[in-house]
């Protein structure tokens, strides 16, 4: 959004706040939306077919601002306005410049750069969401991996909370974050949809949970003596005789294996 529009929006909010402070004058609930409609175009939205069904995708000049499930457009619009305090209008379809990269990303054909509007999240939440974006398709990372990676190793619970309020799920892949014991964990759209997304991407959540139940936390490669998180570069699918299982990073290090530079497995310990 141009600086001039930001300034106008701030002035509109300040005016409304002053009106609400005057006992004799009560600003109607629709005043803010009306002001914003005059100031700028706000957000638009259309539906998107995904492996977990139809989702509503909102976008603006900054980028994609929301991805939600809803029974219908009216419910989506109410939820969006309540959360973001911005107007939203329907479009018949996503613009081609946005629809094509979204389809390519969801199909796994490519990893186009997408722009996101994260102005409504805190600095900590932004760090968590941007770190989740680094997890490759077909791979998962534990919650405490993200906490360590962003320099907040004790904030595991807060990481879970931030992912649970992710405004742009599926596209910012919080479904690729699981529990440290290998169990899939919760998801904003439900654990069943989380499993569906992970299966579509090749992460094989059932296999990960079997490894987790047996206490396996890392996989080592005897060909180069590195050890990784199970899904790193598809390690969990390899059956070439070079894979060994470890229950802890200390066990792997004691066996002479070095941590993988890609998935940085020691960050989870």
pLDDT in tens, 8-23: 555 555 655 654 554 4
Mean pLDDT of 136-141: 97
Confidence of residue 42 (pLDDT cuts 50, 70, 90): confident
**CA nearest to 191, candidates 213, 129, 199:** 199
Q: How far is CA 43 from CA 9, 74, 90, 101, in A?
A: 14, 15, 9, 19
232 noted as active-site residue = no
Does residue 59 or residue 35 have the better pLDDT?
59
Is residue 86 within 8 A of residue 44, CB to CB? The reply is: no
**CA nearest to 51, candidates 15, 103, 13:** 103
Confidence of residue 160 (pLDDT cuts 50, 70, 90): very high
SS3 93: coil
Give the pLDDT confidence of 213-258 residue by residue, as tens digits: 999 999 999 999 999 999 999 999 998 999 999 999 999 999 999 9
What pLDDT was estimated at residue 25?
47
pLDDT surpassing 70 at residue 5: no
Cα separation, 69 vs 73, in Å, equals 10
What pLDDT was estimated at residue 36?
47
Catalytic pick from 174, 228, 260, 263?
Answer: 174
């Amino acid at each position: 959004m141009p600086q001039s529009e930001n300034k106008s929006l701030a002035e509109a909010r300040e005016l409304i706040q002053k009106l609400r402070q005057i006992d004799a004058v009560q600003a109607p609930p629709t005043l803010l939306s009306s002001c914003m409609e005059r100031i700028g175009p706000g957000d638009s939205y259309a539906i998107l077919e995904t492996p977990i069904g139809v989702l509503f995708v909102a976008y603006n000049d900054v980028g994609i601002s929301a991805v939600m499930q809803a029974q219908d457009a009216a419910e989506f619009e109410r939820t969006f306005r309540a959360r973001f305090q911005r107007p939203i209008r329907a479009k018949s379809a996503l613009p081609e410049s946005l629809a094509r990269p979204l389809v390519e990303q969801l199909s796994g054909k490519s990893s186009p750069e997408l722009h996101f509007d994260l102005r409504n999240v805190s600095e900590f939440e932004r760090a968590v969401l941007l770190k989740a974006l680094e997890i490759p398709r077909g791979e998962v990372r534990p919650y405490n991996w993200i906490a360590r990676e962003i320099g907040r190793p004790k904030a595991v619970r807060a990481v879970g909370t931030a992912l649970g309020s992710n405004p742009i799920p599926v596209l910012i892949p919080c479904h690729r974050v699981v529990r440290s014991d290998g169990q899939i964990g919760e998801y904003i759209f439900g654990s069943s949809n989380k499993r569906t997304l992970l299966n579509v991407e090749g992460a094989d959540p059932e296999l990960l949970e079997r490894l987790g139940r047996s206490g396996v936390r890392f996989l080592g490669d005897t060909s180069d003596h590195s050890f990784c998180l199970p899904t790193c570069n598809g390690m969990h699918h390899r059956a070439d005789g070079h894979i060994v299982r470890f229950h802890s990073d200390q066990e792997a290090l004691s066996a002479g294996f070095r941590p993988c530079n890609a998935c940085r497995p020691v960050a989870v310990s």
